[in-house]
Structure 1
Amino acid sequence: MAVTPSRTGTPVTPDTDLIIIGGGPAGCAAARMAASVGMRSVLIEPDALCRNLYRIQALNNVLGGYTSGPELADSITAELKSTSLCRIELGQHVTSLRATDDHVTATLDSCNQLSASHVIVATGVGPLQPKDAPWITAPSGLTLPPLWQAEEDHAEGRTLLVLGGDRPIGTFLRAHPTTDMRLLVTYPPSDDYKIEEIQDDPRVALIPADHVTLYPSETAALAADIVGRDGGDQRVSADFTFLSIGTAPTAPNGDLVRDTAGYCPTSHQHPRVIIAGDLRSARFQRIMTAMGSGSEAALHAYYATRDLLPENSR
């Protein structure tokens, strides 16, 4: 690869054609697409490739006949590991991202740096906690697991209190169609439209709420006082409490433009920074859209390096 001058005039020899931050469906799709057009990439992932897919036990909206997240994740992982033009760096975090006129630099928690002509940021989102939800009052420092981490042993013959009506509830129910359990799902008005797919499941009791207060209980891990939409109060307890209140963006520090919710709109970024997957917005957080946006991001970088992009898309 040719040596290019930096903004300060010091020559910079890029380590690779493309840096990809995040090893989920979007990042993996970006790496495969980049390789298909001859671009070298380094994919940086702090955990395992497609780690969140392994927690999705039932799929019903992915092409290829895959019916579970682990099945899809195994296929993606095997394919990416056989991609010779992609170097995979697991167990590392990007602590800072900088973009100049002619290259980008990613600093890792090992203090090593990587440079490339473009970077694709596909770090996705992470689960919110009670402190992030204005409709929940909880003990200071309380953290709870998201529902997708629940195992069948947590559910069989038990009552689960689920805070929020986000769509992973439907996935959880489909993954355990015969499990004898009871879900107490309490949710704010903003989640009303999300509970349509679970409202007819006899294992679910829906509790519309204006506010929920959590506190320790002598007979359960947590108990909750729920102020209903009609102004009435009720106290509930359960064997386990899980979250389904949504997610928040997990972008690295550095030269990224974020909106008020922390997402990184694609059109607002530096020309050498390309956003892919769930980090773009909350509207399209699906496996298929993540994979499509990752592939598109790699092609964007490919055409940009050849000066083939329309002027208004650079």
Structure 2
Amino acid sequence: MADTPPRTGSPATPVTGTDLDTDLVVVGGGPAGCAAARMAASVGMRTVLVEAGALCGSLYRVPVLDNVLGGHTGGPGLAAAITAELEGTGLCRLVLGRRATGLRAGDDRVTVTLDTGARVTAPYAVVATGVRPLQPRDVGWITAPTDLALPSLWEADASDAAGRTLLVLGGDRPVGTFLRAHPALGTRVLVAYPESDDYKVEEVRDDPRVTLLPVGHLVLGSAGGRAVAEVSDRSGGRRTVAADTVFLSIGGAPTAPAGDLVRDEAGYCLPADQHPRVLVAGDLRSARFQRIMTAMGSGGEAALHAYYAARKPPTGT
């Protein structure tokens, strides 16, 4: 099992109950938010970073990395390195264990309200709250009990799969990550995926443990203690598949705070649509570019945007 993130609210990661004013407020402590805070510190900006959990908490569930620089091959190592560097950055104040409940953008300042009622104000805000895992009830191509909650594939380890058949709903990147993390694991993986995931399954197509099931619609049930899925393919054919257990790999839903953020029909916050003082970074931007390296790059870019914008001479001077 992957290492667990550090407990929130420790003395090294203080939680504040008072109003704060700073140069930049960052909402979200994943790779994008941490990169924004680190970049801001490098150019002398004071930052308050608000995160409901632990810094880079989701990275602790990523066993294998192949798209980041710096020699990190696993999420826990990268998360620990990011956390150590950010905790040593004197210009960044960490507010962990607190959730941003609202964001308001004015002519000259952004106000972020926390679940304590406290407010953080700054000339600019970087919002990098990422996504939460979707459940079967959230997508139209799966029919399942409305109260069904399934684990995501990144929560699985070798003991969940050894000698067993897994049904994975969706073809998102965790399928490939899981298989690369356990290259010698004896398992059978049935990957049922909609047409929108066609391009995502290319990286696992040649793994002999994988059976790809292109799906038009899937009805999930159970029989005899096993998962049973009635699969309708895209040409009208039907088949029944059974598995020992089911995991999800169907993507995520954006988790932006309420307030002055412009969302598209899927809930993503496209950077170009936002108030000039609100900068969006990381997975919250779109479903397409959800990779750790691009998230970190977007966070750093957002902080630099705030830095240079704050130093731009007023129009007409």
Give the structure-2-normalised TM-score.
0.91
Q: Deviations over 1:20-55 (max 9, x none)?
A: 000011100111111111111111111111111111
Question: 266, 281, 293: which one pairs with 1:288?
Answer: 293
Deviation (angstroms), 1:16: 1.0
Corresponding residue for 2:28? Answer: 22
The alpha-carbon distance between structure 1 residues 309 and 237, as it changes in their structure 2 partners (threshold 3 A), is farther
The question of whether the paired residues in 2 share the 8 Å contact of 1:256 and 1:270 is answered with: yes
Q: Report how far residue 303 of structure 1 moved.
A: 1.1
Question: How much does 1:136 deviate?
Answer: 0.5
TM-score normalised according to structure 1 size = 0.91
Contact 2:20 2:119 in 1 (8 A): no
Q: CA deviation at 1:86?
A: 0.4
Asked if the contact 2:104/2:260 (under 8 Å) is kept, the reply is yes
Distance 1:230 1:259 in 2: 31
2:125 is aligned to 119
Counting only pairs closer than 5 Å after superposition, residues 1-314 of structure 1 correspond to structure 2 as 15-220=21-226, 222-307=227-312
User: 2-side partners of 1:258 and 1:165: how far apart?
Assistant: 25
Aligned residues: 298
Task: Summarize deviations over 1:216-271 as a string: whole Å, max 9, x none.
Answer: 32322x32111123322222221210111111211110000111111111111111
Identity among equivalent pairs (%): 64
Partner of 1:3: none
Are the equivalent residues in 2 in contact too, given 1:47–1:91 (CA < 8 A)? yes
* Offset of residue 127 of structure 1: 1.3
1:309 CA drift (Å): 9.7
CA distance in 1, matches of 2:88, 2:53: 19
Distance 1:308 1:181 in 2: 62
User: 1:21, 1:27 within 8 Å by CA — same for their partners in 2?
Assistant: yes
Gaps of at least 5 residues in structure 2 are 1-18
- Provide the C-alpha distance between the structure 2 equivalents of 1:175 and 1:309, rounded to a whole number of angstroms: 53
Q: For each residue in 1:87-134, what CA deviation from the matched residue of structure 2 results, as whole angstroms up to 9, or x when unmatched?
A: 111111101101111111111111111111111000011111111111
Q: Cα RMSD over matched residues?
A: 1.6
Cα distance, 1:164 vs. partner? 1.0
